[in-house]
A and B are shown apart, each in its own frame.
Chain A
Amino acid sequence: AQSVSQHNHHVILSEAASLELGCNYSYGGTVNLFWYVQYPGQHLQLLLKYFSGDPLVKGIKGFEAEFIKSKFSFNLRKPSVQWSDTAEYFCAVNPTDNYGQNFVFGPGTRLSVLP
């Protein structure tokens, strides 16, 4: 079965610091990869996604992620965080060999940005 791990449970940064959240998955086949964000009191929203092509994908609000197939990783980055980036971030994997039936999520990383 697929699984997703996220390296950090809680990350605390000051504004303007750089961010990198780690994500690794275990699955032998082809996958789609996602980062979702949940701002306080709001529903889960898609931040960015990777289906194929350029392994460096850009999402909303200045976020980007790089898919490294050999490492089964899909780390999320942002060069300079803002207080409004305070949220919980979830990495997810969706194997493509079952026609998108299953989305498996990591445990989440809580990001706190100090003003």
Chain B
Amino acid sequence: SQTIHQWPATLVQPVGSPLSLECTVEGTSNPNLYWYRQAAGRGLQLLFYSVGIGQISSEVPQNLSASRPQDRQFILSSKKLLLSDSGFYLCAWSVWGGMNTEAFFGQGTRLTVV
């Protein structure tokens, strides 16, 4: 069966420091991968999605970037964190090319920038 791993679960980082959040999926090949940010009262905001290695689409211009160095690995990064980057970050995957597919979510990372 497929599983999704996201780490770390919580992270406290100072302003101006770099960020790297990692997400890996097991049990499937060539998934679509997503990074969302969840803010209270604003639902889930899609930040990036990827349909293949090295293919990244950005939905919202911001201080963050994403990379997909391997088929089932998706990384969210920042060179210099801002206070406004604090939030709950969720990784998700879905079946590539599947018209009838759902999104499966990881446990999330609670990021606090201080």
Contacts and interface: CB of A to CB of B under 8 A. Distances in A.
A83 interface: no
Contacts of A105: 36, 43-44, 46
B61 interface: no
Contacts of A90: 43-44
Interface string A90-107: 101010100111111111
Contacts of B46: 102-105
Contacts of A36: 105
A43 B108 contact: yes
Interface residues of B, number: 28
Interface stretch (B10-18, B68-76, B77-85, B91-99): B91-99
Nearest to A43: B107
B43 A100 contact: no
B41 A100 contact: no
A108 B32 contact: no
B87 interface: no
B34 A107 contact: no
B97 A107 contact: no
27 contacts: A34-B102, A43-B106, A43-B108, A44-B90, A49-B102, A90-B43, A90-B44, A92-B44, A92-B103, A94-B101, A96-B99, A99-B96, A99-B97, A99-B99, A100-B32, A100-B95, A100-B99, A100-B101, A101-B32, A101-B51, A102-B46, A102-B49, A103-B92, A103-B103, A104-B46, A105-B46, A107-B41
Given A34-B103, A99-B99, A100-B95, 9 more contacts: A52-B100, A92-B44, A96-B100, A99-B96, A100-B97, A100-B100, A101-B32, A108-B41, A108-B44
A100 B94 contact: yes
